[in-house]
C-alpha cells in the first residue's frame, strides 16, 4: 500500500503517472474477484488517458499540483459527469447520468487527481457495516478468507486503499462512514467539520450530519485530500508535538462492550502516548448517556432520510435492502414537533459539552469497540442491528456535536486492525490533523 505522499515523490523523481494507474488496475484484476466487489464502475480507459495527459504536463512544468496523476477512488454516491449516481442501490440504475461533477470531485480533478472509478457502499449510506446485498460486500483485506466485513458505509473506499487499488479514496461520513471502515481495515479515515466541504452532488443521507472526507494510508495524505476538498492551498502538515498534549478519555458509553483485542490495542496506545509526554485525563462526560434517549425515534438520519426517500419509497420500497429500508422508515415515527425538539436538543447538547472539552486538545477513544466480524455472524437481523448500533456508537458522537474527527490505526502489525479516534473542536480541522500526525508517529504501524 503506497501513500499519496510517496506517489507524489515518485512522480517528482520521474515516474510516469501511467505506471501508477497500471499498478492500481493490476491490483484490481489480481484480487480473485474482489475488484468487482470494490468498484461498481471502473474508469480504466479514462484513467490511462488522464495519466498520459498529466505526464506531459509534469514534463512541461505545468502540472496543476505535485499530486497530478495520482489515482484515487470515489464513493458511488458522488456525481461524476456522465455517470449514473446509484448510491449503492439498484433503484437508481435507470436515472439519467449526472450532468456535472460534484464540487468535491471537481476540486480533486482540478488538482490533477485521477478518479479510477466508483466504489461500493452500503445502500444509500445507511449502515456502518458495509454490507450490500445488491452488489455483494467487499471483504476486509485483513482476513479475506474468513469473509469479514469492511465496515461502512464507505466500504469499497477503504478496501480500495488497503488493497492498493487506489492511493486514496473519497467517502462520506454521517455517523462514522469514513472512520468505521478505516478502523476495521487498518487505515486513516477523516471526518471534517460538516460545512468544510460542500456536499452538493453527493446523494444525501442526513443533510444535518453529512460530511465528506478522505480515507488514506497516512494522516499526511488525509490532510492533502482534505485541503483540496475544502478548497484550501495544499500546505505541508507540521505534526503537533506529543509532549504536553492534553488528551481526554471519556468514561461514559464509549468504553462499554469493548472487545479484548480493541481494549488491548487502545490501552497500549495510551501507554505509548504517556511515555511520549502526553497528559491523558479520564473525564466522566456523563452527558453521552443522554444520546440514546435524544435519538430514540431514529434521530436526524431517520427523519431526514425519510424525507429524501419518500418519493422513491412510493414506487420502489420492495427493491430496497430490507435492513436499510427499516432504518429509513423510522423517520415515520417523528412528526414536525419531534423534529424541532430534536434540533433544539442537539443545539443544547453541543452547548453543554463545549466547556467540558475546551481544556483538552482532543477527546480520545476507540473508533469502534470490536474488530471486524464475519459476514456470517451478521446473517440474523438481531445480530445485524446490534452490531450496527455498536460500531456507530462512538463515531456518531462527533457528527452529532458537529466536530471534526479522525481514526488512526493503533494495532500491532499483523494483528486485527483497531482504530484510535480523536475528536477535535468545531472548525479546528487543521489543528486536529496536526495533532493526529504527531500521535500517528507514536502509535500507528504502517500497514503492509
Give catalytic residues, as residue numbers. 75, 153, 177
Buried b (16+ CB within 10 A) or exposed e, 360-399: bbbbbbbbbbbbbbebeebeeeeebeebbebbbbbbbbbb
**Cα–Cα dist 89/156, whole Å:** 14
**Which has the closest alpha carbon to 371: 436, 415, 408?**
415
C-alpha cell at 46: 479514462
**Cα–Cα dist 426/421, whole Å:** 16
Half-sphere exposure of 154 (CA within 13 A, CB side): 40
With cell 488497503, the residue in question is 162
Q: Which residues pair with 215 in a beta bridge?
A: 169, 189
**Cα–Cα dist 4/10, whole Å:** 10
**Which has the closest alpha carbon to 406: 193, 152, 168?**
193
Amino acid at each position: 500500500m503506497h501513500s499519496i505522499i510517496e506517489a507524489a515523490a515518485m512522480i517528482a523523481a520521474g515516474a510516469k503517472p501511467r505506471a501508477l494507474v497500471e499498478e492500481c488496475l493490476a491490483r484490481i484484476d489480481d484480487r480473485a474477484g474482489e475488484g468487482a466487489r470494490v468498484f461498481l464502475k471502473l474508469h480504466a480507459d479514462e484513467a490511462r488517458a488522464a495519466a498520459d495527459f498529466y505526464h506531459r504536463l509534469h514534463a512541461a512544468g505545468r502540472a496543476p499540483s505535485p499530486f497530478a496523476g495520482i489515482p484515487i477512488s470515489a464513493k458511488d454516491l458522488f456525481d461524476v459527469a456522465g455517470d449514473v449516481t446509484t448510491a449503492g442501490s439498484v433503484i437508481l440504475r435507470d436515472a439519467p447520468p449526472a450532468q456535472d461533477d460534484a464540487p468535491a470531485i471537481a476540486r480533486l480533478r482540478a488538482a490533477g487527481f485521477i478518479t479510477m472509478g466508483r466504489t461500493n457502499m452500503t445502500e444509500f449510506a445507511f449502515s456502518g457495516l458495509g454490507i450490500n446485498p445488491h452488489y455483494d460486500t467487499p471483504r476486509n483485506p485483513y482476513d479475506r478468507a474468513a469473509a469479514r466485513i469492511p465496515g461502512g458505509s464507505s466500504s469499497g473506499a477503504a478496501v480500495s486503499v488497503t488493497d492498493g487499488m487506489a492511493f486514496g479514496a473519497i467517502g462520506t461520513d454521517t455517523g462514522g462512514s469514513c472512520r468505521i471502515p478505516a478502523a476495521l481495515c487498518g487505515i486513516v479515515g477523516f471526518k471534517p467539520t460538516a460545512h468544510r466541504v460542500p456536499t452538493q452532488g453527493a446523494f444525501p443521507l442526513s443533510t444535518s450530519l453529512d460530511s465528506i472526507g478522505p480515507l488514506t494510508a497516512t494522516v499526511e495524505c488525509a490532510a492533502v485530500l482534505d485541503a483540496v476538498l475544502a478548497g484550501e492551498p495544499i500546505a505541508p502538515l507540521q505534526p503537533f508535538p506529543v509532549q504536553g498534549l492534553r488528551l481526554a478519555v471519556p468514561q461514559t458509553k464509549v468504553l462499554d462492550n469493548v472487545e479484548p483485542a480493541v481494549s488491548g490495542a487502545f490501552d497500549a496506545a495510551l501507554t505509548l502516548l504517556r511515555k511520549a509526554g502526553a497528559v491523558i485525563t479520564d473525564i466522566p462526560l456523563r452527558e453521552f448517556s443522554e444520546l440514546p434517549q435524544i435519538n430514540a425515534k431514529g434521530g436526524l438520519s431517520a427523519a431526514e432520510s425519510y424525507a429524501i426517500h419518500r418519493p422513491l419509497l412510493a414506487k420502489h420500497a420492495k427493491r430496497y435492502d430490507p435492513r436499510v429500508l427499516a432504518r429509513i422508515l423510522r423517520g415515520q415515527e417523528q412528526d414536525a414537533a419531534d423534529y424541532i425538539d430534536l434540533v433544539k436538543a442537539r443545539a443544547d447538547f453541543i452547548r453543554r459539552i463545549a466547556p467540558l472539552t475546551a481544556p483538552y486538545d482532543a477527546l480520545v477513544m476507540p473508533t469502534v469497540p470490536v474488530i471486524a466480524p464475519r459476514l456470517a455472524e451478521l446473517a440474523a437481523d438481531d445480530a445485524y442491528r446490534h452490531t450496527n448500533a455498536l460500531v456507530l456508537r462512538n463515531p456518531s458522537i462527533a457528527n452529532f456535536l458537529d466536530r471534526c474527527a479522525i481514526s488512526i490505526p493503533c494495532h500491532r502489525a499483523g494483528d486485527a486492525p483497531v482504530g484510535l479516534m480523536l475528536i477535535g473542536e468545531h472548525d479546528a480541522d487543521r489543528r486536529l490533523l496536526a495533532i493526529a500526525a504527531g500521535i500517528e508517529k507514536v502509535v500507528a504501524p504502517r500497514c503492509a
